[in-house]
Chains A and B, each alone.
Chain A
Amino acid sequence: MIQAFAFYLFATMLIASAVLVISARNPVHSVLWLILGFFNAAGLMLLLGAEFIAMLLVIVYVGAVAVLFLFVVMMLDIDFAELRAGFVRYLPFGLLLAMVLAVEMIFAVGAWKAGSLEMAQRLVPIPSDVPNIEAIGDLLYTRYLYVFEGAGLVLLVALIGAIVLTHRARGGIRPQNISEQVKRRPQDATRNIDQPVGQGVEL
């Protein structure tokens, strides 16, 4: 009973905050709604018994990602009003579309209710004796090693991409070149000049 109540609470809040994320006029508000959404999602995870993922959500998404978003949003100088003008223009149609989708979702859920979840086919039955974190770790590095490595490559590409698209080799700066400096000899650096009187020094 309480579980059901919690589920509906978290779910409602999650959806509401998700809506507010995209509808809030102030981008900072959006990020704040997002944080609320993450919290609610974490709550849902908890209800499912996935406490590790719930904690990850709070720590990584709320603690790191969302805060980063917040900083970025606050630092960017974007005319958000103009950006949103386009969105508003498309809003009515978008809503209509969303309604269609929503109606269909309801049908889908109804169908789900009618049919049975084929739990027998689940690759990984929920272990009861192992802690969540251990179970995930076990899967990640054994069964899903391949996908895990692939995900690692995805992150690498994202990294490279970020650098490629933002890194600029600035001209006119003089960075240190240590090996050049160490290799320098006096004869390279100085020279003797017999300077005649009355003439400028030739450098």
Chain B
Amino acid sequence: MSYAESLSLTLSEVILAAGALVLLLVAGWAGDKATRLISWIAVVLLAVAGLALLGPAGAAFGGQYQADSFAAFAKVLIYFAAGASILIAPRFFQLADGSHMGLRAEYPILILLACVGMGMMVSAGDLLSLYVGLELNSLAAYVLASFMRSDQRSAEAGLKYFVLGALASGILLYGISLVYGFTGTTAFDGIAKAYGDGVSMGELFGLVFVFAGLAFKVSAVPFHMWTPDVYEGAPTPVTTFFASAPKVAALCMAIRVAVVAMGPAAHQWQQIVIFAALASTILGGVAAINQTNIKRLLAYSSINNVGFALIGLAAGTQQGIAAVLTYLAVYVVMTIGSFVCVLQMRDAEGRPIEAISALAGLSRSRPGLSAAFAIFMFSLAGIPPLFGFWPKFLVFDAAVAVGLLPLAAVGIATSVIGAFYYIKIVKIIYFDEPGEEVFAANNNVVETGLMLLTALAVSPIGYLAIPVLGQLSDRAAGSLF
């Protein structure tokens, strides 16, 4: 296969990388004045890259890059989440901090480059490309986390993320080198062949370390500790990004590694995934209860949700993987929606408010926002008829189908715990006496539009999408088996 063909298969990454470079030049020339223009161009680039996914499927660069419908499904979610994170940023940064003259142009560019990295992750057919993609995404993420560098919490979040991320990278790299050492290859198909011949102790250790490294990326317990601090400290648009796109990328990457590369060792990794799923759902549910900061609460919620998604992976069947993909699609929409709602929590000067107690009696002053909040919370809690129920049902169904009844049972029990804190927010919004805080009115078309769109998608109307979503996710999962 010639390089031209290979490049054409990686068209979406090429578009994003080249676009990011051009935009970097534009930013260098025009300065921060052009941020708005660059943001919009970046969103357009993401859309174009998304269209490019319609191109042919195949393996590029000798199997290091896999262009298949699984990768395409994940990338659509990633690009959507990235686009949303870019769109909601300018206003936040303009209002959040007086010392900043609005958003700097590097923000959309970094997100674009992170998307390139995430694209590499989900398309990786080789541990090398996986690691490079992961690092590309991570480095961009570290910078984004401390993007409001004058804000102490933001800087701290970035540093923590960096240190722990480096540790996780080290673990992953060590696992990769073990795998390479014992199997003699970094290509997924070669690894699968080696694992198929029986799993030696060294290969087992490699597997454990690789999964530990991946678990950090998806913030599964016990590699989740960074999540609440980073989510809380990072600027809200960045948190939105963290909670959505990299989660999808890391989970999909983990799925590909688990199913394609280490499929023959399914029995071994299944134990780890089951443990991580259980621990994540339980801790994500339990620890969120005492939180007073809405972003921290949503961080635990994301841990909880990752646990549910991992239940589908633990099933390890095509049905399970398809369920995870559906879960991710709905999760991304719910997450973006709820963070856009959080963005609306601004005081009169536009400074962000993050205390949950500030939401008290919101229904009286902002009925629309309150309704959106309620929809997202109920949906996250997985209460029918909202759409958040459906993917949860799918993953439990997949788990039950392979006989993981206790896992599904615990999952359902923890979703009850989760329902408590989600519904508590609704209770605070609708039934508590209003406090002194008055939120500034929202007059931003983009944010309102996003909120409306995502709220509609997770409302019962979303069930109309089940046939399409089910077919797409099934096809995507099918491309791995």
CB within 8 Å of B: which residues of A?
Answer: 104, 107-108, 110-112, 115, 117-123, 143-147, 150-151, 153-154, 156-158, 160-161, 163-165
Q: List 24 A-B contacts (CB under 8 A).
A: A107-B201, A108-B178, A108-B201, A115-B201, A117-B181, A118-B194, A122-B185, A144-B128, A146-B10, A146-B64, A147-B126, A147-B132, A150-B120, A150-B129, A150-B133, A153-B136, A154-B135, A157-B110, A157-B139, A160-B109, A160-B143, A161-B110, A161-B139, A164-B110
| Interface of B: prevailing SS | helix
User: In the complex, what residues of B have CB within 8 A of residue A115's CB?
Assistant: 182, 200-202
Question: Can you name the residue of chain A whose Cβ is closest to the Cβ of B131?
Answer: A147
Question: Can you name the residue of chain A whose Cβ is closest to the Cβ of B106?
Answer: A164
Report Cα–Cα, A120/B190, bound state, in Å: 11
CB-based contact B143/A165 at 8 Å: yes
The smallest beta-carbon distance between B392 and chain A, in angstroms, is 35
CB-based contact B200/A121 at 8 Å: no
Report Cα–Cα, A156/B184, bound state, in Å: 31
User: In the complex, what residues of A have CB within 8 A of residue B114's CB?
Assistant: 157
Q: Which of these, B24, B126, B142, B178, contacts A161 with CB under 8 Å?
A: B142
Q: A153-B116, A157-B143 are in contact. Are A145 and B3 (CB under 8 A)?
A: yes
The smallest beta-carbon distance between A114 and chain B, in angstroms, is 8
For residue B205, CB closer than 8 A to chain A, the reply is yes
Report Cα–Cα, A161/B194, bound state, in Å: 39
CB-based contact A154/B182 at 8 Å: no
Q: Which of these, A117, A121, A123, A154, contacts B136 with CB under 8 Å?
A: A154
In the complex, the number of residue pairs spanning A and B with C-beta atoms less than 8 Å apart equals 107
Among residues 200 to 258 in chain B, which have CB atoms less than 8 Å away from a CB atom of chain A? 200-202, 205
For residue B17, CB closer than 8 A to chain A, the reply is yes
CB within 8 Å of A: which residues of B?
Answer: 3, 6, 10, 17, 24, 60-62, 64-65, 104, 106, 109-110, 113-114, 116-117, 120, 126, 128-129, 132-133, 135-136, 139-140, 142-143, 146-147, 149, 158, 178, 181-187, 190, 193-194, 200-202, 205
The smallest beta-carbon distance between B266 and chain A, in angstroms, is 20
Question: Can you name the residue of chain A whose Cβ is closest to the Cβ of B143?
Answer: A161
User: In the complex, what residues of A have CB within 8 A of residue B136's CB?
Assistant: 150, 153-154, 157
CB-based contact A165/B146 at 8 Å: yes
User: In the complex, what residues of A have CB within 8 A of residue B65's CB?
Assistant: 146
Q: A145-B61, A164-B147 are in contact. Are A157 and B201 (CB under 8 A)?
A: no
List the 7 shortest-distance A-B pairs measured between CB atoms, nearest first. Answer: A111-B201, A161-B143, A150-B132, A121-B184, A146-B61, A118-B184, A157-B139
Q: A117-B182, A164-B143 are in contact. Are A108 and B109 (CB under 8 A)?
A: no
Q: Which of these, A111, A117, A165, contacts B149 with CB under 8 Å?
A: A165
Among A112, A120, A160, the one with the most B-chain Cβ atoms within 10 Å of its Cβ is A160
CB-based contact B185/A123 at 8 Å: yes
